[in-house]
Structure 1
């Protein structure tokens, strides 16, 4: 029997600090609550479409909502998104892993660097992680140029690397900005191309996108599709994906490859 394709949905749960990149200060409680509200909408969608996902969470955010983290851990994978979203030291690697484990009661095996910056793989391995999901293997102006990186799962020394999915050849990225800014049929088209070529698709987004962020000082490509509009687009994408393969976590994918 042919193995079903695997659909990896991941959620970056963090302090809503993106307005600060564009000069607008946001009170701490508001940064936490914007993400919490969007996370509740995310969980409702996942329940509706029976999605099992990976949640990359900052330890600082988790410390403010421990009961919600434990609720998520009952069904989904908990992974680290560093300790804070706006600052980082290598000591945060182990610190965030241990804090998230204590809160969730679940082993934390995965890491994703905020804003998908580079991470020291040797330090990551020493901090006890099995895998890194910090690479989007495409070019995004002002962020990263990863054309040379493998599109799919590979190993760097003793650490597994699970890149976000991009299409073959032109490396069209399937991630939050493509969902927000292009018609859904384009995302579905390139997702189909990826799944035809690869055995999995990995897509990520942020819960704050599912809240109304239209009043913040953000560029239109971030602000214009949010709240109910983004929820409708996500629902259409999940409806499509549930017929393309089986939803699973990043850890599930690695388990299958290590058997």
Structure 2
């Protein structure tokens, strides 16, 4: 008999980037200096692959082209184990900080490399920091021009780095011809609460996250999607100096608890890839 809390199959997603590449360190770490850091992303991602194997979970890995160029065998292993490989762009630059030409070049470089590496089409994209919004809707047409079938690049909440609270909360077809799958929110007292994962998952006690996911599934009759990063299961990562109090809190809060909470999440709910859950192909 199933011990899952809901019969709904939800989407498990991983944004494959290293600890020194996150938006929290914009202005602290120059991308030109990334080579000075010892990468930890491959080891952390393999721990996740083993954990997913343990619970027979398939996931979507939104992968930076920068990571894929340096760890091609990791990307092949993700694919070989039956997971979906998707694009997270090349250099983790927010879409909102690029011109249309820069965005096209960044995403194309990532997509081309992943497709050449795996010999198959890459149809999914996620913008760093959910950075497609009111000022750069043109990005959707660029994704269509590049051959993507779906995007998961918007978060309908209010946040200092991102947010499109007036946009749809559930997967929908854009007029440009692409499916957008927003990060999920729970509506409570007229406000949209962030429940999609990442720093919120690390901050909330697991019981609260589980409760909000259950409430979402019951209230909305929609699948839920979860996102996080390999560095979030790595409490031993080197400390980055020079960040603000807010950036340090966002990045380091409860890193030592994430792996155990993630394992409970895999046990409590059903999971698969974005392609499977949302029927995009």
Shared fold (TM-score, shorter chain, > 0.5): yes
Q: Structure 2: which 5+ runs fail to align?
A: 1-5, 242-246
For 1:215 and 1:35, how far apart are their aligned partners in 2? 15
Q: Which moved more, 1:77-86 or 1:34-43?
A: 34-43
CA distance in 2 between counterparts of 1:32 and 1:106 reads 30
Give the ranges of 4+ consecutive aligned residues of structure 1 lying more than 6 Å apart after TM superposition.
Answer: none
Q: 2:207 aligns with which of 185, 192, 203?
A: 185
User: Residue 17 of structure 1: which of 16, 21, 31 is its match?
Assistant: 21
Is 1:134 aligned to residue 153 of structure 2?
A: yes
Which residue of 1 is the match for residue 226 of structure 2?
Answer: 203
Which of 163, 178, 203 is matched with 2:182 structurally?
163
Counterpart pick for 2:112 among 79, 85, 98: 98
> Is 1:251 aligned to 2:275, yes or no?
yes
**Which residue number in structure 2 is paired with residue 53 of structure 1?**
59
CA contact (8 A) 1:59 1:100 kept: yes
- After superposition, give the CA deviation of every residue in 1:5-45 in whole Å (9 maximum; x if it has no partner): 12101000124323632625695346562222221221122
1:144 paired residue number: 162
Comparing 18-27 with 101-110, which one deviates more in the overlay? Answer: 18-27
Partner of 2:84: 77
Structure 2: distance between partners of 1:186 and 1:22: 33
CA distance in 1: counterparts of 2:154 and 2:38, whole angstroms = 25
After superposition, the C-alpha distances for 1:147-203 in whole angstroms (9 at most, x for unaligned) are 111111101111100111111343222211111111111101110011112330011
TM-score scaled by structure 2? 0.81
Contact 1:54–1:250 under 8 Å retained in 2 = yes
Deviation at 1:82, TM superposition (A): 0.5
How far is the alpha carbon of 1:233 from its aligned partner? 1.7
Structure 1: gaps spanning 5 or more residues: none
- RMSD after superposition: 2.3
* Distance of aligned partners of 1:9 and 1:176 in 2 relative to their CA distance in 1, 3 Å threshold: same
CA contact (8 A) 1:73 1:106 kept: no
SS at match of 1:199: coil
Q: Is 2:11–2:59's contact at 8 Å kept on the other side of the alignment?
A: yes
What is the TM-score with the length of structure 1 in the denominator? 0.87
Q: Deviations over 1:35-66 (max 9, x none)?
A: 22221221122112211000000112101111
Hey, what's the Cα distance between the residues in 1 that align with 2:150 and 2:37? 28
Q: Deviations over 1:50-90 (max 9, x none)?
A: 11000000112101111110110121001000111147622
Task: Please give the alpha-carbon distance, in whole angstroms, between the structure 2 residues aligned to 1:214 and 1:187.
Answer: 28
Whether the 8 Å CA contact 2:89–2:125 is kept in 1: the answer is yes
Is the Cα contact below 8 Å between 2:202 and 2:257 reproduced in 1? Answer: no
The number of aligned residues is: 249
Match of 1:173 in 2: 194
